[in-house]
Amino acid sequence: MAPLYKSPPTFSGVTRGLDKLVKPKIHRLLLSCEDIWEASLVLAEWSHDLPPVVRRALLIAAIVSYCRPFTTNYGPGALRKLDIADYLKADHSSDRPLLELHQVLMHLRDKVVAHSDFDVQPVTLGARTTTGFTFDRLKVDVLMAPISIDDFRRLCSIVQSRCTDEMHRLANDLMPPP
């Protein structure tokens, strides 16, 4: 699986004050484009003919990759997360279903895929048995989530395209063409 870009653009020799503001944005956008590209590649392998365990693994991988740019980074050099509102507009009727899908994906990532939140997947103690206790648990399966794979693919395509356009615009501000 080849990344969208082989290596990030270099910015040596740029001395304008703008570079300190723009370089981190371009860096974030570059990493984000690669994450969305990875989600797209995973979704390209999706088929209803695959066994459920393979479909589940592909969907989880796509959710993690897609959501990465929209989550907070920590540590040295941490970058601002992307805001979906910069890529999709709530007042555009064609974007509204994709915004809802984005929210479903983020919820699944935060509450089911990356973390097992009790409020989403509660566990209750059942009856005592001769060998211990029984437990009841509501298991959330991502395959049962309201996700249209075609819409997920379209969402990735739109976000990646707009993200790439923004990255190129910022790079042109930083390093104008000769």
Nearest to 85 by CA among 74, 70, 72, 66: 70
Rg (CA), the chain: 20
Give the pLDDT of residue 136.
58
Give the pLDDT of residue 146.
86
Give the pLDDT of residue 76.
60
* pTM (two decimals): 0.75
Per-run averaged pLDDT (10 residues), the chain, 178 residues: 45 50 79 92 94 94 94 70 80 80 92 65 63 61 87 93 86 74
Give the pLDDT of residue 12.
46
Give the pLDDT of residue 140.
66
- What are the domain boundaries of the chain? 18-174
Give the pLDDT of residue 9.
43
Query: What is the SS3 assignment for 103?
Result: helix
Give the pLDDT of residue 50.
95
Give the pLDDT of residue 96.
84
All residues at 6 or more sequence positions from 114 whose CB lies less than 8 Å from its CB, including other chains:
64
Give the pLDDT of residue 104.
93
Q: What span, in angstroms and rounded, lies between the C-alpha atoms of 104 and 14? A: 41
